[in-house]
Amino acid sequence: MYLRGLIILCLHLATICGIYIDNDDGTTREIKMSVRDKNKIAKQMLTAWGIRRPGSRGVDPDSYLSLFMASAYKFHTDDLEDEIRFNPSYSDLDSKTTYFGYDRKLRGVLDHDFDVIVAFEPKHIVTDTPLTDALGSNLAEIDFSNEDTDYPYELVHAGLYFAVDSDADFSVKNVQLYYTVADEIIKMPSGVSFPINDTNFVAFNVSKIVEGWMRHPEMSRRLYVRITDNKGKSRPLDGLLSHLHAFGVGFFIEGDEYYKNRHPRDAGFLEDDDANEIDDGTSSTPIPDGPIDVIAPPRTDTCRKRALFIDFSDLGWTDFIVAPHGYRANYCAGGCPFPLDGIYHPTNHALFQTLVHLLHKNVTGEALCAPTMMDKSMSLLFLDKNQVRIKKYADMSVTECGCQ
Mean pLDDT of 355-382: 77
| Residue among 233, 223, 253, 371 nearest 303 (CA) | 371
Based on the fold, state whether residues 199 and 143 are members of the same structural domain.
yes
Task: Give pLDDT, residue 249.
Answer: 92
Q: Is residue 69 part of a domain?
A: no
Based on the fold, state whether residues 103 and 45 are members of the same structural domain.
no
Based on the fold, state whether residues 37 and 146 are members of the same structural domain.
no
Query: For residue 185, what pLDDT band results from cuts at 50, 70 and 90?
Result: confident
Q: Is residue 7 part of a domain?
A: yes
Based on the fold, state whether residues 254 and 295 are members of the same structural domain.
no
Mean pLDDT of 259-282: 36
Q: Exposed (0-12), middle (13-18) or buried (19+): which is 322, by Cβ within 10 Å?
A: buried
pTM: 0.75
Mean pLDDT of 376-385: 82
- Assign residue 157 the CATH number of its domain: 2.60.120
Query: For residue 79, what pLDDT band results from cuts at 50, 70 and 90?
Result: low
pLDDT digits (tens, 9 = 90+) for 44-66: 888 888 887 776 655 678 889 99
Q: Where a domain ends, among 210, 239, 258?
A: 258
Q: Where a domain ends, among 240, 258, 276?
A: 258
> What is the chain's mean pLDDT, rounded?
75
Mean pLDDT of 287-293: 40
Q: Where a domain ends, among 258, 275, 302?
A: 258
Task: Give pLDDT, residue 104.
Answer: 53
Q: Exposed (0-12), middle (13-18) or buried (19+): which is 346, by Cβ within 10 Å?
A: buried
Task: Give pLDDT, residue 267.
Answer: 32
Name the residue type at position 58. G
* Domain interval for residue 133: 99-258
Q: Is residue 71 part of a domain?
A: no
CB 119 within 8 A of CB 387: yes
Mean pLDDT of 212-234: 87
Mean pLDDT of 108-123: 75
Based on the fold, state whether residues 145 and 239 are members of the same structural domain.
yes
User: What is 87-155 written as a DSSP string?
Assistant: PGGGHHHHHT-S-BTHHHHHGGG--S--SEEEEE--SEEES--HHHHHH-SS-EEEE-TT-----SSEE
- Answer yes or no: is pLDDT of 25 > 60: yes
DSSP-derived letter for residue 172 is G
Based on the fold, state whether residues 115 and 201 are members of the same structural domain.
yes
- Assign residue 349 the CATH number of its domain: 2.10.90.10
- Answer yes or no: is pLDDT of 288 > 70: no
Based on the fold, state whether residues 222 and 150 are members of the same structural domain.
yes
Of residues 358 and 309, more confidence is placed in: 309
Based on the fold, state whether residues 297 and 241 are members of the same structural domain.
no
Most confident of 60-64, 101-105, 120-124: 120-124
- Answer yes or no: is pLDDT of 260 > 50: no
Q: Is residue 279 part of a domain?
A: no
Query: For residue 296, what pLDDT band results from cuts at 50, 70 and 90?
Result: very low
- Answer yes or no: is pLDDT of 324 > 60: yes
- Answer yes or no: is pLDDT of 300 > 70: no
Mean pLDDT of 364-373: 82
Based on the fold, state whether residues 314 and 399 are members of the same structural domain.
yes
Mean pLDDT of 293-302: 51
CB 156 within 8 A of CB 238: no
- Answer yes or no: is pLDDT of 188 > 80: yes
- Answer yes or no: is pLDDT of 387 > 80: yes
Q: Is residue 249 part of a domain?
A: yes
Q: Is residue 243 part of a domain?
A: yes
Mean pLDDT of 84-95: 76
Domains in the chain: how many in total? 2
Give whole-number Cα distances, 127 to 89, 120, 297, 308, in Å: 36, 21, 81, 54
Query: For residue 107, what pLDDT band results from cuts at 50, 70 and 90?
Result: low
Query: For residue 227, what pLDDT band results from cuts at 50, 70 and 90?
Result: very high
Give the span between the Cα atoms of 147 and 386, in whole angstroms: 9
Based on the fold, state whether residues 117 and 226 are members of the same structural domain.
yes
Residue 101 CB neighbour total at 10 angstroms? 17
Based on the fold, state whether residues 115 and 232 are members of the same structural domain.
yes
CB 76 within 8 A of CB 379: yes
CB 155 within 8 A of CB 210: yes
Task: Give pLDDT, residue 110.
Answer: 46
Q: Is residue 275 part of a domain?
A: no
Based on the fold, state whether residues 249 and 117 are members of the same structural domain.
yes
**Pairing of the two strands 222-227 and 378-384:** unpaired
Q: Is residue 201 part of a domain?
A: yes
CA pseudo-torsion sign 308, 78, 199, 383: positive
